[in-house]
Structure formats: C-alpha cells, structure tokens
Amino acid sequence: MFLSSIINGPMKKIFTLLCLVVIANSFAQQDAWVYFTDKPNVAASIANPISILTQKAIDRKQNHNVAIDERDVPVNETYISDIKAQTGITALAKSKWFNAVHVRGTEEAINALSSLTFVERIDFADHNLNSASRSYTSLNKTEIEEETIAFTYGDTQNQVEMINVDNLHLADFTGEGITIAVMDSGFPNANTMGAFQRLRDNNDLLDGYDFVDRTSEIYAFTGSNHGTKVLSTMAGFIQDQFVGTAPDASYYLFRTEDSGSENPVEESYWVEAAERADSLGVDMINTSLGYRMFDNPNYNYTPADMNGQVTFIAKGAAIAVEKGILVVVSAGNSGATDWQTVGSPGDSPAVLSIGAVDENGDYVAFSSQGGAAQIGYQKPDVVARGGAAYVINEFNSIVQNNGTSFSGPILCGGIASLWQAIPDASPTEIMDYVRQSASQFNAPDDFLGYGIPDLDLALSNALSIDKSQIENFSFYPNPVETRLNIKIPSTVNQLEVSIYNQLGQEVLNQWITKDLSFVNVSDLASGIYFIKLATTNNSKTVKFIKGQSHN
C-alpha cells in the first residue's frame, strides 16, 4: 500500500514490470502428478499384509469385507529416488493408492520424465497443459471461519443437542473405540492445552505428522490454529464449560494444508495422509478443507468439475471410502459467492458432506450448496451448527467462529459416538442411518441436504432393524457378465435392487419379485460395484465384480 503511494510515472511502470516478472517466474514452476507403471513385490506383500499394514488396519478391512489389494502396497522407492535425481525436479508427495508422485519443476523438465521406462503418464495441475483451459478468481477459503465473533465463555449445549448426541453421551457412547484422523492446517498447543488434558490422560491423542514440512513436530505453530479449533469441537473437554461430540474417541492429527499458499500439492498431501490413516486402521477421516481455486489460476477447477470424478483429492477420498473408512467433509463456505457449490473432496458422492446452520437450525448464507454437477446424488448430505459455533483456540479460550469447518467435525464426532453404539455397522450403513434420521429426509434440497440429523433416532432405527430376513438374500454368479441372479426368501414378496459404482453413484435401480428375480448388468462397464438389496424395513449392501461381457 505504501509503495503504491510513493511510486509514480516511469518508476511505477518499472515496478509494475518487475512485479509481472516475479509472478511469471513463480508460475514457470509447474506442478504435476507422475504415475508409475508397476510396484515391487505385490503378490508377496498381499500374501503377508502385516508387512504393509498395521494389525488394526487388517482387522478393520476384514470386519467390513474390504479386500487388501495392490493399492495397499507402497510405491517403489527406487522410482522415487530416480525421479528426485532428475535435473530441475522436486518430489513433494507420493501416493501408493495412485502409484504416483507429485512433482514440481519446469514444464520441460517434467515432460522429460516421460522418457523414464517406469513412468506411465504425467498429469499437469495446469489443465491448459493437458486439455481445455480453466480460470477463476481466487478466494481465501478460510477467511470466513477465521473471523472471531466473540471472546466469551459458553458451552456446547446447543450444537450438541441439535444433533441429539447428548442422549448418546448419557448412555456412555462418547466415541470410545473409534479412531479419527483429522486432516487440517495446524494444531498448535494441542499437546499442552487444558482442553485436551482428558484426551492425553486417556492416551487418545495418538500421533501425528506434518506432511507439508515433513516432520513429526505436529504441534508447532505453522501460521494457522485452524486444526486445533476443529479438533476441539470433537475432543475438547473443559469441566462444566465445554464438551466435544466425541471426547473419548482416539485421534491422529495430520497437517496437509499449507495456510500460506494454495497449490494442488495440498491435494497430494491429503491423499498421502489418507493412505497413512488407512495403514493405521483409522475408522473415520474428518477434513475441514476444500479445493477449487489456486494461487496459479491455470490450476483452477470450475463448478462443473465438482462431480467427484475430476479432482485428485476427490478420487483419493473415494478410495479411502472403498478401503472401509467413513470420510466426513465440510461442504465449504461459498454459498454467498459466485462459486456457490460445494468444494472438493466434499463433491464426492462417496463422502458425507456437511453444510451449516445457525443456532436456530436455519441455513446460513455462507454454507456451500448443491449444484448442477452433482448428478444423481445430494450435496450437502446433512447439516449441523456452523454459524457462531463454539470452539477452543490454541490459548485454551472458548470462542465462537463461523464456518462449515466446524459443522463438519461437530457431526463427525457425533457419528463416532453413534458408531460406538453399533460397532458392527458398516460405513455405508452408518451414513444411511444418519441421512435417514435427518429432518428433511423425504424432501432434501441443495441448502440443507437431508437436513439436521437426529443421532439418537439413528441409533433407535439401527437397533430396531431385524436383519434375519435380509441376511438370507444371496446372489450369483460373482463375478458376473450379463445376468445377476438373486435368491429371495419365501417371506419376502418384492425387493428393491440398487447398484452403485465405486464413486457411490447409482447406476441401476429396479424392483424384483420371485417371478423375476434377476437384473441384467450387461450394459455396465467391467469393474467393482456395490449392490444394495432392500425391503421396506432393512437393507444389505455387498460388493460384486462385473466381468467383461462376451458376445
């Protein structure tokens, strides 16, 4: 500001030119994902899963019938070393799920990597270098939630009672036994604050890692206290003043967001952290981050890209769900902007996206809405309090902040308490129970989704379901090419069949009876699908493989 007031005439032109040169040079460095052709020792690693996963991760996958596959095998470190050795290339993150490494360098240097025999393909973050151009005006995604409304003491009664998790707490369901990974931008003082003393005393603050700075020093101040406040909504406890929604859950803390810049590498950090969470056997991921626009406008997404299939982070979140993790994501704070729709990974149909309401349960204008890109599924899924929500900052003070950054973890903690009460439920079943308990389940909209969940009602509904009939359903063959036959118990007259792809999108729906007890899947592409068999009272979801049809 002061420079512009004293520079004029030729000097101002020179200064402007220098600024343009600096900006041009900063964008000369490109970001890209480099995908590899193969992995080492795949068969041996899968045969001996304890060599690549923790026992808790193996147990969680077995409990939810999740297969251990090639994606669980680590990336070839020799390939990464060779990438790092190339002139002008910096490797910033790696992903075993995508068998890829995130690199930075000049366009020429990155393209030169394609000559390496183990490189399958290269995908630039600047979509102009891959396909059609995209552009959008940048907006700081944390500017709303960082605004402190009041530095007053209060309690969490309203935000806890709104989703009826207080009744679960009274029944001693406080998240114990559920492990949550929190992905955020910084967790200063979480290891010393009084609000997390209960957490530390119970050995529930497990571990953490800073994927941005590549350090285990997760509690240092890195320019943001956002993660500390997010964690407080779930795990915070101050006697008679503040109770989080899952005070007895266990937590891993992962820094994946660099608050000082906005770059697609943060998507890669997030996926890398999700892979770490999966290996550790985490049950849930909470993330109050969203990506759509970047410092380099050539990297920007558009609202049309928010369909769960475009962004690296949305595709990574879908794999996390496929691995048996329940992913809870804040919808975003773009409701009052030109962008308006949810950000990524909240756009993925596989995750539970959370919008925001105020203390009265009314929609708040900043909460991101569903959009035209989400075809065949509802976003946000549900809502919780994000308007003037109570949080605890790094100085152990109770304050009020705005943002879906807080409605997301408030509900995430509530769901952890619910899951403790029904531990045999699958992530898909938990999501269904939450949606079905919500205030406008029968008439969802793009503002509140299915509405405000009633977690006590969700528990009651789950416990009242008689699964004796649904467990008698079976289908064959698996894998299937054209005709999937379904065996219906004699006590059931008709059955609704829904088939979903790995992104959670419904690709087929029909009713069957004893006289017509099959579905034709010949039009489906080969791959892994989920089939949901439902009566009026209960449902069962299992996985099947669609093979290549032969004519």
Task: Return the bridge partners of 398, or none.
Answer: 392
| φ, ψ for residue 495, nearest 5 deg | -145, 135
> Which CB contacts under 8 angstroms, 24+ apart, belong to 236-240?
236/195, 236/196, 236/391, 236/392, 237/195, 237/196, 237/197, 237/198, 237/199, 238/194, 238/195, 238/392, 238/396, 238/398, 240/155
Does residue 405 have an active-site annotation? yes
Query: 60-76 burial by CB neighbour count: b if 16+ within 10 A, else e?
Result: bbeebebebeebbbbbb
Q: Out of 348, 405, 437, 539, which one is annotated catalytic?
A: 405
Q: How many CA atoms, within 13 angstroms, populate the side-chain half-sphere of residue 301? A: 27
Q: Out of 95, 226, 348, 437, which one is annotated catalytic?
A: 226
Q: Vertex 331, ends 327 and 334: CA angle to 5°?
A: 160
> Residue 99: left (phi > 0), alpha (psi -120 to 50), or beta?
left
Q: Which helix (H) or strand (E) holds 120?
A: strand 119-124
The residue behind tokens 């957490």 is 199
Does residue 184 have an active-site annotation? yes
**CA-CA distance, 278 to 283, in Å (whole number)?**
8
Cβ–Cβ under 8 Å, residues 546 and 479:
yes
Closest CA to 110 of 91, 89, 81: 89
Number of H helices, E strands in the chain: 15, 23
> For the chain, first and last CA: distance in Å?
71
Q: Out of 184, 248, 347, 432, which one is annotated catalytic?
A: 184
Where in the sequence numbering do the catalytic residues fall? 184, 226, 405
